[in-house]
Amino acid sequence: MQPQTLTLTLMAATLAGTAVADVVTSQYTSSSNYEFEIEHMPDFDQVRDTLAVDDNSDPGGMYCVPTSLTNLLGYLGTHGFPDAGPSAADWEDEEDFDLITSYINNMGILAGTTGTGGTYHEPAYDAMEYFLQCRLPGVFTVTENLATNTTGPTLRSIAENNVNGAITSLSYGIYDDIGNDIWGRKVLSRGGGHCISFVRGYRNGSTREIEYMDPDDSSNSSTQSTFGAESYDVNAVSFVKASTIVGASFKGSRTGSRIMRTSSGKWRMIDAVIHVRPRAGYSWDSSESHWNIIWPREWLAWMPRPAPVPGPLGMHLQDFTVGPFNNTLWYLDAAARDKAYSVRLSNGELEAVDLPHTGDQIAFARDHALLVLGEGQLSRLHPFAQHGEHAPEPLTLQMPAGMKYMAMPSLGDDMWLAGPESRMVYRVSQRLDTGPVGIELPRDWATSVGVHSLAASSIPQCPLAILGTNGLIYLCKVGDGELVTVDQFSTDGAIRSIEFNDEGDVVAFGDQGMHLYRAEDGMWGEVSDHPFATEQFSAQSMMATSRTNYDQAQHGGDEWRQIRDIDAADGDIDGNGAVDISDLLELISVFGSQSDAADLDGDGWVGVNDMLVLLGNWTE
């Protein structure tokens, strides 16, 4: 469980890092009124000598993801964290060109990028999380949000995350409009996507705008082009993602953000983001009725110290957790446990969600469903899903009596449950598609000892930690139908709850604040050499962790690759790279009607002018 060491061969930076407060605007008033803008985000070119070539023999032509992630590392490197990334300040100078190429190449290796195949989501997320965990353990979290049938990232969610302290690499899918399903819903089919670095998001009423650094904005492979953001309008679009009209009939719809690079042809829909933000601790101050947001002592140069997040007066906190997008805190009020409440970190906005039963504990599953445990029941709700046909329904399972605690790993699909007087713990799928499986407590667990808290990890050798009422923490694995203690250690006896952080340390909260336990040379013990060592936490606290909602069944196909985005010539209706007879036949088939793909002049109809545009770009 030791933090891993990452070894990279990099050239030394030639210029010292800088630290500048570069947030130009940061405000989130409401879902229809917000703006975030950041300066000095790098704009590295992906086309570079020595990188793997694409089908057009361009070196780095498919390296949009590792280049966009290197943009984020470059920003961190010059804003107080030189260990995170390249800290050269004059990146457009040819002297530093090879340095950046080394970073992009190394990030591409970690992300599994290939010269002709681009990059897939899961290894891209893993690469960024692994890199920062090795370089700066305990300082940052990495959050990936991928679109599903009924939820997905939008311009609003991205801007709000940045208001709350993130920097962001985002991808837009390159979609084709394949028609409407039997309910009249627009159906879009993804054919790959492109990765960019976010620098500005704006909305005022119906006006939406985005600015980003596009890695693929230069064809010169031997020098760095001048940095510069691209700016486009954004439209809200309700659609179904499917490869066929028939397949769309079985899927829910969602509203997404379309980047208006073109008014016809391809639909560029934001559908994946990677946020990097300081690892936050959230600590409930009962005397002031608010949460304190606690960031590492290694402070972020571009962000102000976060203000407390208010809670409603008179509230008695039963339990709380962090929302899956790190924009909200969700909690149970001990006086009204038939509802779950959320408070927005950016503006203190409060909302309530009705529960099917009262709750003792809440948590979010990996796919962003809200799980509620209480009254011998475990329920699964979908507070972020878009309502309508095929929207996910709530689900409730009966649990053994006395269950009060639950824990789940940030990267796994199972969860663990126990009660104060349990002689067994129970494992169940986060999707609640199977019943609970009971597993006996370790043989060395004394009969007089009760269970006080659980923590789950993605570490195969130690998937579960159990805090006993005797102050011991048991680190366990599953073997032959029972839990086996692989290690145990003592606490100060006043611990209320435990969790694992990204590095595999055990984080404990109690009456004396936060304690962090780590295995060093095979022995577990409390350590003080971590970024939060001097910060104050209450007994009701938790630490944010890195997380992704990646699902192989939904996001693992070739259509979810991130590749090069080359604008087709006007008239290339079918997107095959040529304006030819197939495009002409497609235009004729919709002549005199409305068609986004064939409306080449953007007047809303397919007519003579569109025919002239197509013929004027005919491929020889």
8 A C-beta contact, residue 270 and residue 153: yes
pLDDT bucket at 6, cuts 50 / 70 / 90 = very low
Domain range for 208 is: 23-277
Collapsing DSSP to helix, strand or coil, 227 comes out as: coil
CA separation for the pair 476, 465 (Å, rounded): 6
pLDDT bucket at 306, cuts 50 / 70 / 90 = confident
| Domain-located, residue 9 | no
Which token pair is 472? 């011991």
Residue that finishes a domain, picked among 254, 277, 300 = 277
Find the CATH number of the domain harbouring 132. 3.90.70
pLDDT of 7: 32
Q: What is the value of pTM for the model shown?
A: 0.88
CB under 8 Å to 219, separation ≥6 — which residues?
Answer: 47, 58
Query: pLDDT tens digit string along 420-436?
Result: 998 999 999 999 999 99
8 A C-beta contact, residue 140 and residue 277: yes
Within 278-410, where are the H helices? none
Query: pLDDT tens digit string along 66-122?
Result: 999 999 999 999 888 889 988 876 787 777 899 999 999 999 999 999 999 999 999
Which token pair is 260? 């208006």
pLDDT of 391: 84
| Domain-located, residue 312 | no
CA separation for the pair 575, 553 (Å, rounded): 26
CB under 8 Å to 376, separation ≥6 — which residues?
Answer: 398, 399, 400, 401, 402, 403
pLDDT bucket at 576, cuts 50 / 70 / 90 = low
Residue that finishes a domain, picked among 213, 245, 277 = 277
| Domain-located, residue 456 | no
pLDDT bucket at 12, cuts 50 / 70 / 90 = very low
Burial 99-128 (b: 16+ CB within 10 A, else e): bbbbbbbbbbebbbbebeebbbbbebbbbb
How many CB atoms are closer than 10 A to CB 203?
24
pLDDT bucket at 10, cuts 50 / 70 / 90 = very low
CA separation for the pair 523, 550 (Å, rounded): 34
Average model confidence (pLDDT) across the chain: 90
Residue by residue, DSSP assigns 419-487 as: -TT-SEEEEEETT--S--EEEEPPTTS-TTPPEEEEEE-S-TT--EEEEETTSEEEEEEEETTEEEEEE
Q: Kindly tell me if the per-residue pLDDT of 55 is higher than 50.
A: yes
| Domain-located, residue 269 | yes
pLDDT bucket at 4, cuts 50 / 70 / 90 = very low
Q: Kindly tell me if the per-residue pLDDT of 552 is higher than 90.
A: yes
Degrees to nearest 5, angle at CA 324 with 322 and 330: 35
CA separation for the pair 53, 48 (Å, rounded): 9
More confident residue, 572 or 160: 160
| Domain-located, residue 161 | yes
pLDDT of 598: 83
Tell me how many domains the chain contains. Answer: 2
| Domain-located, residue 17 | no
Residue that finishes a domain, picked among 277, 311, 332 = 277
More confident residue, 360 or 576: 360
| Domain-located, residue 403 | no
CA separation for the pair 325, 166 (Å, rounded): 11
pLDDT of 480: 83
Which token pair is 476? 């366990």
How many CB atoms are closer than 10 A to CB 567?
10
Which token pair is 32? 């229809």
| Domain-located, residue 273 | yes
